[in-house]
Structure 1
Amino acid sequence: MALPDEPRPTVVPSCPLPAKICDVVRSERPRSCCGMAMAGFRTAKYQLPEWHRRNAGVCYEALATSEEAERGRAQSKHLVKHAAASAQRAQEYSKSTLGQRLGDVQFWRMELQKEVMELDAETNLLAAQKLRLERALDATEVPYAVVIDNLECRERRQPPDLVIDEVEKQLLKEADLIRDIRDLLKRTIIQATTQIRSNRIQKENCELDWSDKVETCDIDDKCVGYCADSADVQFHPGSVKFEENASTPKSWAQLSHDNISRAEQEKLASAQLRSLINNIIHDASEDLRMQRAAGNEAFDNRCRQLDDAKLCLEQHLEQILKDIGEEEANIMNLKKAIGDKEVYLKVAHTRLYDRSFRPNIELCRDEPQFRLVSEVEELTVFLEALKRKLMESEQNLKNLEETRMKLEKEIAVKANSIFIDRQKCMSNRVRYPVDLEVASYKQ
């Protein structure tokens, strides 16, 4: 930097200033008057004017040197003052720049810290939702086991009740629904696990950036505190060069901006997944509740049908048992009637037989003979009719007995079906969770 000109002091020389200090003209020396005898004393000696000129030159040189030194001291004083002011301004500007930079670093540090805390809170919320999914998945094991047990129990129904009725259709539909819900819950658990991993990875990235910002804040805050009176300042010649891997302010800010942007994206995705989990658990609970109600209604209807069928069969059985008793009494009456008619027939046959021994002309076809023959024919017809009726009655009794056995078997089948549906299946469905959404909150 050029220094301003200062007024120079006026110096008055005390002796004349020659053009040159040693400008001696040897030819102007006075000739010796003593001749050769004094030649040795005058060799290489100066004349008086030369001596005066030399003294004047030395004085001038000393005066010029003094003047130059004085001018240099004035310039040095001005330079020192200017350098001190410039160094102070430069240090204050550097301190202000460091302060601004420290403010920027603290801003990004606070933003990153906020993102880390929000990501951690969001991850905890998502982990809680994932736990709800796992509990809901565990809660579906009992309904699925109940449905499978119902289907297996109903396989032990006896024909003809071993039918594909509405209950079996609803149970199969319920089993498919529970399997679909379990698959959906498992896929959602995997999705939640992946999202939690992404949240934690982005949280680690933000934490690393935040940690660098904290360390940088400490360094820059320490640098702001340095001054000329600090005891721990020293020369570091190699520190003035830029590092090859040094970032630019734009890339530096872009990194934190990208980390925060990715954190916001992960938080948004996590929040959306939490909302989806809520909807999945709620919808699955509603579907399962409605299907359970449909299954229970089908069981109730089927049990009523079985009760009605069993009651109808029991009424028929009661009538059949009554018919069997009456038919047995009828058979006994027929047998007694046949026995009675056989006695009458024996009497008629005996009469005819005995009268066949009438001698000679007495063996006459008289009226008694015709009447006995007619009686035998009449009794034979009645006996044949009674025997046919007895056979019919015995066949009817056999049919009634077979019907009784069929009815009793059918009643037993219906009782077995009722026992399976009401006692085995419906009582087992009491263990069914009331609400899958409530079960997801239970410990």
Structure 2
Amino acid sequence: MRAHSLIKRRNNAHPCLYQSMPDWYAKQWQLRQSADVRRSEACQLRNSGKTVRAEANVRTKWDTYVNNTRIADRVTELSRWKDTIEDLLQKLLTEMCLLSDEKANTEKDIESVNRLLQIVSECISTRDCRRVTELTYDEADTELKKELRTIASIQEALTKRVQAAWEKLNHLERIKFELNLDIEDKNDTIRIDKGNLKLDHMCANISYKPKTSICAEKTNLITYEMWLDRCHRSKMLAESESNDCYTFREATRVMRECAWNDIKAQQDVTDYTLRKRIYQTQKARNELEWQKLKVQQEMEMLAKEITQLEATLMSKIGVVKCVETRLENRVYRPGSELCKDEVELGLQSENLQLKQTEEDLAKVIAHTKASYNSLESLLMCIQSSLEDKQHSLNTDVMCLDTRAILKKGDRSRLPNETDRNIMLTSMEKEIPLAS
């Protein structure tokens, strides 16, 4: 009863639908076809996956190799440019060091020129202390003032050159800073690219960088051509500045050498005119010495002559007294004896002759004394002129002694004073010995 009731209840709840055998076979065929299609699609997907996977692996490996090669080539290119710029920078630093040394040498030359300027000014001031009779516009004065102008112009030119060298060094410092910055940038880039070259998919310090494309877009990237042009411009700038610095330094050196050549040439001319003036002054002094000697001799002879004339005049006094006494005594002759006889005429003639002789002797003595006084005045003038010329001579010799420190090397002064005096003048032998 229970089983019958269960079957009846199932039949009443779900009525069963039966299908025919063809439907059953059709359903089996449909399942088989679906399975075949799905297996075929799965096989195709599996084969295409293998192909994609192989292609992806090959492409990834090839891209990695190509990019590694590119990074290595880029590192090599950056290293070459860095080495080139470093060589140019080293050359520029060498030129800067040489230019700095040249600037220091020029500054030393300016100090030496200042010393020369002081010496020449001192020589001019010394020669201006000559006495009025010797204060002339001679060649030595002209050449000294010309030397002063030459040294002053050279000092001004060297000062301007030092200023230009200082500005040039400042400009080269800026170029050096730019080249150092470029080298540092290249070193950082080489370090980054070498670090990238060492990276692979097995490294531990790799991760996803989701902002890579955004950072690349925001960064002001330049093209390779622009970068290469910038490298060429840096190279050309370093080369041009090095060459310009070399040209400037050589021009400064040539300027210094020409300046010293001009100074030495002018010094030689000035020294020659000073020696020539010393020779002229000493010749004039020796001439005056000779004149002084002759005047003194003439004065001595005139003094002796005056003494003899005065003695002669004094000796005539007794004779005149005697003649006049005789004439006076004959006045007292008696009577007819008072006549003009030959004795009277002779005594009167002798008296007149003695008076004339006294007058002549007095005139000669007066003229001789006047001549002696004029010779004495002339001797004083000669003595004064000699003192002036000796003072002028000492002044010019002092100028030469002052300028002796300017002579160096083969231009140094003679080893002893004898040679120096022979070189200056040796005019003492022109004074003749007293006869």
Correspondence 1:328 to 2:298: no
Query: 2 CA distance for matches of 1:202 and 1:435?
Result: 41
Q: Shift in Å at residue 82 of structure 1?
A: 2.5
Query: 2 CA distance for matches of 1:371 and 1:86?
Result: 170
Name 2:395's counterpart in structure 1: 420
Q: Shift in Å at residue 367 of structure 1?
A: 4.0
Query: 2 CA distance for matches of 1:156 and 1:305?
Result: 18
Name 1:105's counterpart in structure 2: 78
Name 1:430's counterpart in structure 2: 404
TM-score by length of 1: 0.82
Q: Shift in Å at residue 263 of structure 1?
A: 0.9
User: What count of residue pairs does the alignment treat as equivalent?
Assistant: 398
Equivalent in 159, 172, 175 of residue 132 of structure 2:
159
TM-score by length of 2: 0.83
Name 1:223's counterpart in structure 2: 196
Name 1:274's counterpart in structure 2: 249
SS at match of 1:289: helix
Identify the structure with the greater helix proportion. 2
Query: 2 CA distance for matches of 1:257 and 1:145?
Result: 52
Equivalent in 87, 91, 98 of residue 60 of structure 2:
87
Q: Describe how 1:247-286 pairs up with structure 2 within 5 A.
A: 247-286=222-261
Q: Which amino acid aligns with 1:213?
A: K
In the superposition, relative to structure 1, how do residues 46 and 170 fare at CA in structure 2: closer, same or farther (>3 Å)? farther
Query: 1 CA distance for matches of 2:392 and 2:125?
Result: 13
Q: Describe how 1:6-155 pairs up with structure 2 within 5 A.
A: 41=11, 45=15, 47-49=17-19, 68-69=41-42, 71-155=44-128
SS at match of 2:134: coil
Name 2:145's counterpart in structure 1: 172
Residue range with higher mean Cα deviation, 409-418 or 69-78:
69-78
Name 1:193's counterpart in structure 2: 166
Instruction: Report Cα offsets for 1:226-265 as digits up to 9, x if no partner.
Output: 1111111111111124344111101111111111111111
Name 2:355's counterpart in structure 1: 380
Task: Determine if contact 1:143/1:432 at 8 Å carries over to the other structure.
Answer: yes
Q: Shift in Å at residue 333 of structure 1?
A: 1.5
Name 2:416's counterpart in structure 1: none
Any gaps of 5 or more consecutive residues in structure 2? Answer: 1-7, 411-435
Name 2:431's counterpart in structure 1: none
Name 1:409's counterpart in structure 2: 384
SS at match of 1:49: coil
Query: 2 CA distance for matches of 1:350 and 1:44?
Result: 224
Instruction: Report Cα offsets for 1:111-159 as digits up to 9, x if no partner.
Output: 1111111111111111122222122222223322222221111112223
Instruction: Report Cα offsets for 1:76-124 as digits up to 9, x if no partner.
Output: 3433332222222222222222222222212211111111111111111
% of aligned pairs identical? Answer: 21
Name 1:349's counterpart in structure 2: 324
Name 1:371's counterpart in structure 2: 346
Name 1:311's counterpart in structure 2: 286
SS at match of 2:19: helix
Query: 1 CA distance for matches of 2:250 and 2:16?
Result: 116
Instruction: Report Cα offsets for 1:16-56 as digits up to 9, x if no partner.
Output: xxxxxxxxxxxxxxxxxxxxxx9995677452229959975
Q: Shift in Å at residue 412 of structure 1?
A: 1.3
Query: 2 CA distance for matches of 1:91 and 1:351?
Result: 165
Q: Which amino acid aligns with 2:348?
A: V
Structure 1 vs Structure 2 CA RMSD: 2.7
Q: Which amino acid aligns with 1:431?
A: I
Query: 2 CA distance for matches of 1:118 and 1:339?
Result: 107
Task: Determine if contact 1:317/1:408 at 8 Å carries over to the other structure.
Answer: yes
Name 2:185's counterpart in structure 1: 212
Name 2:424's counterpart in structure 1: none
Residue range with higher mean Cα deviation, 352-361 or 225-234:
352-361
Q: Shift in Å at residue 397 of structure 1?
A: 0.6
